[in-house]
Structures are given as structure tokens and as C-alpha cells.
A and B are shown apart, each in its own frame.
Chain A
Amino acid sequence: MASTVRTPHPREKRIIFRNIDRPGWTNDIDCYFRDGGYAELKKAVTMKPEQIVNEVKASGLRGRGGAGFPCGVKWGFIKPGGPKPVYLICNADESEPGTFKDRYIIHQDPHQLLEGTVISCYAVNARLAYIYIRGEFPLGAKILERALAEARQHGFLGKNILGSGFDCEIYVHRGAGAYICGEETGLIESMEGKRPYPRIKPPYFPAVLGLYMCPTIVNNVETLCNVKHIVRMGGAEYAKMGKPNNTGTRLLCVSGDVQKPGYYEFEVGGITLGELIYDICGGLRPGRKLRAVIPGGSSAKVLSVADRYKIKSRQPDGSMLEKEMGLEEVPIDFDTLAAAGSMAGSGGIIVMDDSRDMVWALNNINEFYAHESCGQCTPCREGSLWMKKITERMVHGGGTKQDTDTLKSVADNIAGRTICAFGEACAWPTQSFVAKFRDDFVAKSAGKENGNGLR
């Protein structure tokens, strides 16, 4: 399947990606069976649904889509025995620039996703699940359709699964090419056949008023795969991987100025940014120095190598310890990256060396967000395009003295004031690039007065 077969790095811990690029591995159900496939589903249907929810809670699994919300807590929002049907949606709208992990799971190990999804459906009592896959993944959709047919044939889907009395069906729903469909309420609107305008929360929390105004759980592909392994290992055992509040493994997608970009899997917090760049990814290009890292997909705030980071962490004895460190020493986990002022996000790590023009880099990101803003609410609709227009002008030599401050102020007027998290996604790059590399921006516009003579 994969064009280049790569051997995992010895430091990797491959759980979710165990079968990716595995020699002799194919994505059909027979291959999956030979590896003990669907054993966890067989185990799961002997458990009570709330037992599985409790195991997931005990595992400490946090969502792998970007926000890192605890999966068990999310599931706990679904009150058992409600009058409305419960839906589960697998968010396979992997669109965050720099992120390409879910695609490999779907292409090479679709049954792992299906098994995790059926188990999750069983846990939250969803009889119907959808895999919302982005329009740009036509092959992935085809593979999933085939895998679903295989699973149906073997009785892992449909009526009375494995004699448990539990009925479950999964359908693939293809998107039409909009980043905003990855926002869970936008995704739900899209599934309902409407424009994917994210819903206001309150009142439209998916767990209460989701798909067709019914309780709905939306989980990322990687998150759902983890559920299978939590059932296999038990929540407590799973939680031993990684560190407290940052458990399990994490798929990292490394792109940018490294010798060996690609996908990797490590225990959460088991590796620092420096180790990832230099030990795993073969370092930077010859003669280049590290300048910056975007650690969680393009919407995460950029981190500069010039900064020192004060990271507080809880010690095993419960005390808090503050440690100052450089960028390369920052471990890759949810809490540390948040403490460093960014986020683990979707696991897309974008590395930039000292050859990069930071204004150009931000403009590149701004172009994406201006193009993908759905246009529903004012600050994001107007602000994302405005920021792009400013950085584009700066890149092409039309910068004015006011641009740097205007950029920051525009971003500040978006973040926290929009319907959905896209507001932050489009504002954080500008806020962080201007804050961390202000000199680069000022230099781009030095000496030029405001073009139209206005204030």
C-alpha cells in the first residue's frame, strides 16, 4: 500500500501504527484476522457498556483531533436510557495543515478503526455510526467501504453482533472539501445536508443536541482506534503509557525542514522536540539552524528557538516543579505544550530552520485560513481575509509601518469572539508569529508610510 516502506525507529512505541508499513501487511479483513483482529470487539460485547466507559475514563485517553478533551468525560455526557437515539460520528475530516496520521490508519489499517468504532458504539449505545471522511480522500473512502462490507459479512456489523443482541451499522459519509467540516458541529450540519456552519454552544452541544438534534459523540479516527487498545490492555494498564493526564501514545506527523519527515508514534511526552528533530528525523538540512516549531498543526501557536520556556509539571509526589528549558528540551505532550504557550493539537509538527521568511510563512498559513473560513460569523469571516491581505502585501513589498500592530490587533479581535474554534485557529498563528518574530515583520515594512494617508 505505502509507496515507501519504512522501519519504525527503535524509540517509537507503535500501538496504533503497529501495522502501518508492516512487511506483508494488507488492509483486508483476512490479514487483520491473522493478527488477532476483532478479538477486542469479542471481548467488549461480553462487558457491560458502562464498564467500557469506565475503562476509557480510567485510561485517561484524551481526544486526538486537536482539543485534547478527555474521551471518557465526553462519553459520560451521554445519559443512558434517553428517549432519543444516540449517534456516533468518526471525524475523519483530517484537514489541518501538517497533519496526515488518520489517512494512514484508513488506508492501511481500516479494520482497526472499524473495530474501535463498533466498540465505542457499544459503549455509548449508538446503533448508528458515520465515518465522515474528507472529500479529498476518495481512496480512503473506497477502502473503508470495502472494509465495512467485509465486517458486515463477518457479523461485526448489522443485527445482533456476535450474538450480543447489539445492533450497529456504520456508514461512510464523504465531505466536499471544506476544512470547517472538521469542526464537530459544522460536521454535523454538513451531515444533515446543510452548509457546514458551526452551531452556537450553548445550546447545541453535540452530546445533547447533535446530529438531527439527538445526542451525538464525535471522535477522531486515532481516538477511536485507541479505544480498541484500552479494551485489550485495560484502562489502568493503558494509563501507564505516557504520563499522568497525558496517557497513551501519540501519532506525530513531522514536516518542514528536517531530513526525514514522516509519521511516528511515541508514548505521550516520551520524547522532546529536540530529540524528535535531531535523533528521529535526521536533523536539519546541512548548515541550517533551528528557528521555530509549530507543534500541533498549522493553527497551533509557533514556538521560537530564541525563547526560554518555564514549564510547571506535577511530580509523582503531587508537588509542582517549575523547570526552565529551551525549545529543543520541551517534551511533546498535551500539558507541556500548553504550558509553553501552544498546543499538542492534531500532532502535526512543522519545523522551520533559519532560512525561512517568517512573514512568508505566516502569509502561507493566513492564505489557508482566509480560504477556509466558512464566513458565518463576522470576526473570522472578515478578519481572516484581512490578515491575509496584510501579510500578502508585506510579502510583496507593500508593507506599511502600521501593519505589524494592525495584524496583531486584528487577530486579537478574532480570538475568543467567534462561534467556533476556527477563530482561534486563524488568529493564533498571527498572534504568535508577530509576537515571536516581531523584528521580521517590522523589517518588512520599515520606512514605509501608510499608503492612503489615513490614520
Chain B
Amino acid sequence: MSAPTQLLNVQIDGAWHQFPKGTRVIEACSRAGKFIPHYCYHPKLSSPGNCRMCLIEMGMPKPGPDRKPEMGPDGKPIISWIPRPQISCAQDIAEGMAIRTDSPLVKECRNGVMEFLLINHPLDCPICDQAGECHLQEYSVEFGTAGSRFLDEKVKKPKRVELGPRVTLDDERCILCSRCIRFMKEVAHDDVLGFVSRGSHTYLTAHPNKPLDSNYSLNTVDICPVGALTSTDFRFKMRVWFLKETKSICTSCATGCNTIIGTRLNTIYRQTPRENDEVNSSWMCDYGRLNFHYLNSPERLQTPQIRERDALVNSSWKSAMARAGDELKKFANGQIALIGSARMTNEELWLTKKLIESLGIADHDVVPRLGEADQILVNADRNPNTLGAQLFGITNENPGGKLSEIVEKVRSGAIRAIVALGEDLTEIGLTVDDLKKLSLIVATGILPNNTTRHATVLLPGSGFAEKRGSMINFRGRLQRLNRAVQPPGEAKDEWEILRDLIQQSTGSNGIYLIEDVFRQIAEAIPEMKGLSLSRISDKGVQLVEEGEEATKTPASI
């Protein structure tokens, strides 16, 4: 057990507060309700103190002859103020420290810095993609002046610079805060950005022949306080104030980075990281961030289909479900296999388990996806919910270990029907010819593939941003997906599809809402006792102690 952190007394604008030792002055002020504007400071990066926006007045108690603080007539220590304003971003608080955040000098400093930052900055907010989420705009309103005293020509710098495949730079908008440089060096460990030239002519660039192509490059766009760094994918696609923001998680690997999905009129425009120090700090990888465009694809499966003679034809949900239920009943227990997915939510996996039980399926597994871990955020397990699939017994400690056996049984004719949930059977080793030989394929999916094309019953499902549900990341953290957009056409949540499939054999099962599914889970799983889907906080719930089931935490974030 570590000793409790020492609390220090700090006077902020005349009022005394207590903060733990080691608190930055700027953070202490913020916690005391005195927000200090800043550009270069970022709590997750080193502090160069270069923007000078966070200047404050600072003082310490004046020591008397006995070296104890000298007391004034009001019984409070007399403060000896440092004559020059001090930056608040790089200093920790000290016992008895006094801070002024709203004095005339502080206001003058902020006003001065705002003026300086704007004299060479283009004043064309209406055509700038950052407008609406620009700190220059915000602080200009709060701490700047309406007019400009600058009469001379602005400095010209490079515009529309492709720093890398995903980031576009406008050097004239850059305020040289160096956040992006520090991020690439300190977090992404790919020190490709830097300043060249000097004085007011300084500009940001990537090293010659070294593009900004790190898998973390888009985080520089997030932390850029102005419109200098923009996402090539997102820029000029949508005004940010039109975006509806939905808190969710990324499903591109087992890390489960917390995200905000930005949508308008049922279209996803961008995905940005949401701070969660237990999972992803303030960052996410570019791959995960941009891995949503497929949800906007015109190829999306939108209508249930059933096979009539040799062709798939559109159907109603009711007929499709009846067909699936009827066909499945034709097979003996050992003749049906189920291929689930570790991309499914816990709720879907729970119902999959129920389906397995109701149909007496012995051969079931998930499709593993392994890649290389990058020591930052990307996990070797590219499936987001392998722990969930294991927890509910869809697979075991060796995900995918039964797949080759299933393939053999299909080829020997022992297995004649397959329920494929969101996975393409040709990815587990079956060929299209194998699929054609099967008597029945009941498939869910969101995009066409070999399996959906050869399905007997095709049930269109929902993507990660189109549904609610929970997943368990590789560290055993239960996190919630929230619906940002509606699935296209008649596509449905998989949990509903699964519920209806089960009902085909068991009749009504009392599940009307996804909350009902979660309730069943919470009753069955001791670690989730007392939880409800809504009660999982925005930052998730740790189900198992760190280190038990979890892999090692990367030290770098």
C-alpha cells in the first residue's frame, strides 16, 4: 500500500484550496474552477511552455525573520509576488503558493498572446475546417479583441501539404505549439515531425523522405488546437457543429479504444478517440479510427433473403425466420455446426449460446484473427470480444481450434448444415464447392461474401456503430457500444435475429429488449452481478483484476 498523497494548500484568486502534491498549477486552477487557456500544454505530453497563453501571477508566502511565513493583519500569510508572469503548465504547486488567474496583468498577457497568434494567422474561419472546434476561435472570443492593429503583410507559408497518407497540413494556420511533434516523438515513437526555418518564418514539416505515415498519425489532428493539421479523410466533408456525437468503442482489435462517433443524418463522418486512461489514454490507431467506411457502403445487405430454386430472393423477416427454423429442425444434433464471431457483442454471444443449446449443436467455434501487436495500442488479437466468446463457451481457450475438425466433417458429410454468424465460411478453409454441397446455410452478415452468396437463408445484421451491446476487452474490461446510426434498410440487430431464431424452436422466451438479455447474463455470470447494460459507465467496468486474465499493459501509454 502506498502512503496517501500529501495535500498542499494553494491560494487561487484569494480562495484557499487543497490539492495533492505533484499537481500542475494549470490543473489545480482548473479543478478550482479557474480555467486557464492554453495551446501547447497537453496533460499527456511534455511541457515546453512555448505558447505563453497560460501565464499567471504566482507568489509564495513571504518568510519572516524566523523563516516562517509572515502573517498579515488578516491573519493570512503575506504573499511575495514574482514580478514577472509565470507559465502555469510546467510547474507543480507548492505549499502556500498563491496564484492569480484574473488579475489585470494576466488579462493583459492573454490578450497580448492572442493578438500575437492572430497577426500572421489567416482570418478566414468560414473556409477553415477547424471552425467550431478551434481553440484560436474560442480563446479569441474570450480573451482577445475584435479588431486588429496589424497593418502589414502576413507571413506566407506552405498550404495543403500532404504530410503523410492521412494528414494534411496548412502551415499558415499552425501556431507552432509543437504538440504534434511531441506526440510523434513521445507516444508514437516515430519522431518524423519537426520545425524548420526560424522566427516567424518557422514552419512544421516532416523529415525529407519520411512521411507521417505512422498508424497513430491522426492523433496529431485531434490534438492540433487549430486548423493546421486536418484529417485527409474527414476534411471538408462536414461542419463539426452538425455532428451528433455518440460515445462508443472501437471494435478493430481486443484493446477496445474508447471513441466518439461523429454522425449526421444517419451517416458516419468520423471516429475520434475518447479519453480513458484504463484503456487507450487519449489516443487510438489510424486503422481503427478509419475502419467505419464499410458501414456506409452501398453494398450493404439490407433485406432478408431465402433461396428459391437456385436463387436468393427477397423475403419478409417472418418468412425468412420460419424458413430458417423449419430447415434447422430437419437435421439431427450432430449434423449442424455453428460458426460464431468474436466480433459479436456479449448479448449476441449469450443468445448464440442459447441457440447452440436449443439446437443441440456440438461443433461450434469462432474465427480467430491474429496480427502483430505494436506495443502501443494495437493488440495481436484483432477480434474485439474474444474474452466474451470464451466466457459464453462459443469457443474455448484456443479460439479457432475446432475449425479444421468442422471443415473435415463438412467434407465427410457428417455436418450438413451450418449457422454462420457474421463470418465468411471460406475464411475457415471451406471452399465455395464445399458450401454448395451443404444442405443448409443460415447466415447473418452485413456485406456480401461467399457465404452470404451461397446461403439458404440470409439475415442482414448491424455493424458496430449501429447497435447497442457490450464487449470485454483483452484486459477483462466490460465496455459498451452505443448506437450512433440506424442499420440500413430492413437490417436488424443480431441479438434480435438470434432471439427470433431461438423462438422458432422454443417459442416465446420473454426477451423483448437487449436489457433483458443482459439481465440474463448478469444473473449467470458472477463478475457481472448487479450490473445492467445502462449501468456500465462510459469508461467501462473492470471485470477481472489486472494481471489475472489480462495481458501486459503497454508501458508507453
Contacts and interface: CB of A to CB of B under 8 A. Distances in A.
A206 interface: no
A419 B49 contact: yes
Contact of A379 (B47, B48, B52): B52
B195 A378 contact: no
A287 to B, nearest CB: 38
A455 interface: yes
A378 B51 contact: yes
Contact of B200 (A195, A375, A409, A454): A375
B55 interface: yes
B400 interface: no
Interface string A376-396: 111101111110011001000
B198 A178 contact: yes
B161 interface: no
A379 B150 contact: no
Contacts of B508: none
A417 B199 contact: no
A411 to B, nearest CB: 11
Given A200-B48, A386-B119, A417 B55 contact: yes
A416 to B, nearest CB: 5
B155 interface: yes
Nearest to A405: B149
Contact of B176 (A178, A375, A390, A418): A375
B175 interface: yes
B199 A200 contact: no
A351 B55 CA distance: 37
Contact of A382 (B53, B55, B119, B149): B119
B91 A202 contact: yes
Contacts of A406: 149
Most buried by A among B48, B50, B55, B91: B50
B151 A378 contact: no
A450 interface: yes
Contacts of B119: 382, 386
Nearest to B109: A417
B199 A413 contact: no
Contact of B195 (A195, A370, A379, A416): A195
Contacts of A370: 199-200
Given A375-B176, A378-B113, A384-B200, A419 B50 contact: yes
B112 interface: yes
Contacts of A389: 152-153
Nearest to A450: B151
Contact of B85 (A178, A417, A450, A451): A417
A402 B151 CA distance: 10
Nearest to A390: B152
A373 B87 contact: no
B116 A382 contact: yes
A200 B55 CA distance: 13
B528 interface: no
Interface in B127-154: 147-153
Given A400-B151, A417-B112, A377 B198 contact: no
Interface residues of B, number: 41
Given A413-B112, A418-B52, A382 B120 contact: yes
Contact of B87 (A200, A381, A409, A450): A200
Contacts of A202: 90-91
Contacts, number: 112
A325 to B, nearest CB: 27
A221 interface: no
A454 B290 CA distance: 45
Contacts of A393: 151-152
A455 B149 contact: yes
Contacts of B47: 200
Interface residues of A, number: 39
A450 B149 CA distance: 9
Nearest to A419: B49
Most buried by B among A178, A195, A417, A451: A417
B257 to A, nearest CB: 32
Contact of A452 (B115, B120, B151, B197): B151
A416 B84 CA distance: 6
Nearest to B114: A378
B223 interface: no
Contact of B48 (A203, A374, A376): A376
Contacts of B84: 416-417
B201 interface: yes
Contacts of A450: 151
Contact of B201 (A375, A378, A454, A455): A375
B117 interface: yes
B202 interface: yes
A371 interface: yes
Interface in A333-380: 370-379
A445 to B, nearest CB: 11
B190 to A, nearest CB: 17
Nearest to A403: B151
A198 B47 CA distance: 13
Contacts of A454: 147-149, 151
B199 A374 contact: yes
A381 B176 contact: yes
A302 to B, nearest CB: 23
Interface of B: 47-53, 55, 83-85, 87, 90-91, 108-109, 112-113, 115-117, 119-120, 147-153, 155, 175-176, 194-195, 197-202
26 contacts: A197-B48, A197-B50, A200-B87, A200-B90, A203-B90, A372-B199, A373-B200, A375-B195, A375-B197, A376-B48, A377-B51, A378-B53, A379-B116, A381-B199, A382-B116, A382-B117, A386-B152, A409-B149, A413-B116, A416-B84, A416-B85, A417-B55, A418-B52, A419-B50, A450-B151, A454-B151
Nearest 9 Cβ contacts at the A-B interface: A413-B112, A375-B202, A382-B116, A373-B199, A385-B200, A389-B152, A200-B49, A455-B147, A416-B84
Interface of A: 178, 195, 197, 200, 202-203, 370-379, 381-386, 389-390, 393, 400, 402, 406, 409, 413, 416-419, 450-452, 454-455
